[in-house]
Structure 1
Amino acid sequence: MGSISWNLVWAHDIGPMTAWYRDGLGLRLMTSTVQSAVFDTGPCILVLIGRHDNGPASNPPVSGWERNQVLFTFSVTDMDATLAELAGRGVTPVHVAPVVIDGDDAPRWRVAQLMDPEGNIVELCDEPVRWFAGVDA
């Protein structure tokens, strides 16, 4: 089996979602239609697909961890610089915290959680990605 080639997010209203990922996060839009948007995120693409039964129609609207079925995390090399750049685009995190692993009191890296217009949590993390494979970078 190869690497993950794409991630999909069902979007209730494709317009604001496309704008947030393109203008807010600064992802490069590869192609779009009235029902979809495809973003370049490196070796794996991100696809938004419009689906009107997947939105904030519930009362009260469901967002954050209650909404997410899948979480994806963008790797960043400089968390402070990335957060400053995003703030300049009007995107602010809902949570930023150090990550502590296996009861070790020393934080190993930081994670920032962002919320897209429909309440999905998207993360940024400055962890050494190879750590998850058992190779501490």
Structure 2
Amino acid sequence: MRQHEENALAVARFLEDHPEVDRVYYPGLPTHPSTSSPRARCAASRDGLLHPQGGTEAAYAAMKSVKLFHLAESLGGVESLLTHPATMTHAAIPREQREARGVTDGLMRLSVGIEDADDLIADLEDAISPG
């Protein structure tokens, strides 16, 4: 769990500062609105959500480009996973309701595993950077 938490925070910090990412939702970041609450601190070791610049097209391109993150709905293993909630976990919810709750086509969910954090960050850098 320690490695999972360290990696998740490193990835979240990288994504938060990346020019191709609009928004990162991760309770372990100081910029998260709930960071000071005990519940958020407990949740800090969990998944993170991000909106890449370019919305849906950028999200799809990133999902096709990652090499270490596996595209999967299961978020319970030690390997790093990437989920596209709009077409996977939340696909049955009508678009209007999904989007009202912030689950847009450009949203991606990461579950950061125990692989080397620098390798995970490099994989995401390659996947979300233009060109």
User: What TM-score, normalized by structure 2, do the two folds share?
Assistant: 0.29
Larger radius of gyration: 1
Q: Higher relative contact order at CA 8 Å, sep ≥6: structure 1 or structure 2? A: 2
Which structure's residues are more often helix, by fraction?
2
Which structure's residues are more often strand, by fraction?
1
